[in-house]
């Protein structure tokens, strides 16, 4: 068989394999899939290009809202855009005095309020605002969000 004819057969077989692969059913979309942003719990690990001293600020992503805790106050807001875009209504926050954590909590709330989009890759969630971003790791539970005495001591170092 001439060499050119063998390449034509190989090409036809390859095309047939791709055509059959395209016929496979697509997996169902998970109810936790929010525009490729997995819903659930996250812990803040970075802000303004630096790590945060404690992992005591959280974010929970639901279908059309976000909520969580800062070092002192809980918050929640409706997302008026479809993820991965973000357009949060004004954050509804508790009003607990925050002492030495006031500055970092206010910065966290300010960046979150101005967020415009989210990006998720490799277990890391980036919440982008016009001037900076928040970096979260996935998988925080309510119990993990509680600050321990060891964590408090580390923050002072």
Taking the model in full, what pTM does it have? 0.69
pLDDT of residue 33: 47
In a domain, 86, yes or no: yes
Average predicted confidence (pLDDT) for the chain: 79
The domain that holds 67 is classified in CATH as 2.40.128.270
In a domain, 24, yes or no: no
Instruction: Output 81 or 18, whichever has higher pLDDT.
Output: 81
In a domain, 74, yes or no: yes
pLDDT-based confidence at 24, cuts 50/70/90? very low
In a domain, 22, yes or no: no
In a domain, 3, yes or no: no
Query: Residues 124, 142, 58, 67: is their CA dihedral positive or negative?
Result: positive
Structural domain span for residue 46: 40-155
Residue 74 φ/ψ, nearest 5 degrees: -85, 160
Straight-line distance from the first to the last Cα atom of the chain, in angstroms, rounded to the nearest whole number: 77
If one counts the domains in the chain, the total is: 1
In this structure, are residues 42 and 61 in contact, taking their beta carbons and an 8 Å threshold?
yes
In a domain, 61, yes or no: yes
Residue 141 above 50 pLDDT?
A: no
pLDDT of residue 20: 45
In a domain, 11, yes or no: no
In a domain, 96, yes or no: yes
Residue 57 above 50 pLDDT?
A: yes
Q: Enter the tokens of residue 144.
A: 């993990």
pLDDT in tens, 99-127: 999 999 999 999 999 999 999 998 899 99
């Amino acid at each position: 068989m001439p060499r050119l004819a063998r390449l034509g057969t190989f090409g036809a077989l390859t095309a047939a394999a791709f055509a059959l692969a395209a016929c496979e059913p697509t997996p169902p979309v998970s109810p936790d899939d929010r525009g490729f942003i997995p819903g659930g719990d996250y812990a803040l690990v970075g802000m303004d290009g630096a790590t945060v001293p404690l992992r005591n600020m959280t974010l929970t992503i639901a279908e059309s809202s976000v909520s969580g805790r800062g070092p002192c106050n809980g918050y929640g807001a409706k997302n008026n855009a479809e993820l991965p875009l973000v357009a949060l209504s004004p954050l509804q926050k508790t009003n607990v005095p925050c002492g030495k954590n006031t500055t970092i909590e206010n910065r966290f709330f300010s960046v979150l309020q101005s967020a415009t989009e989210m990006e998720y890759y490799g277990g890391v969630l980036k919440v982008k605002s016009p001037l900076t971003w928040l970096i979260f790791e996935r998988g925080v539970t309510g119990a993990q969000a509680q600050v321990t005495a060891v964590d408090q001591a580390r923050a002072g170092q």
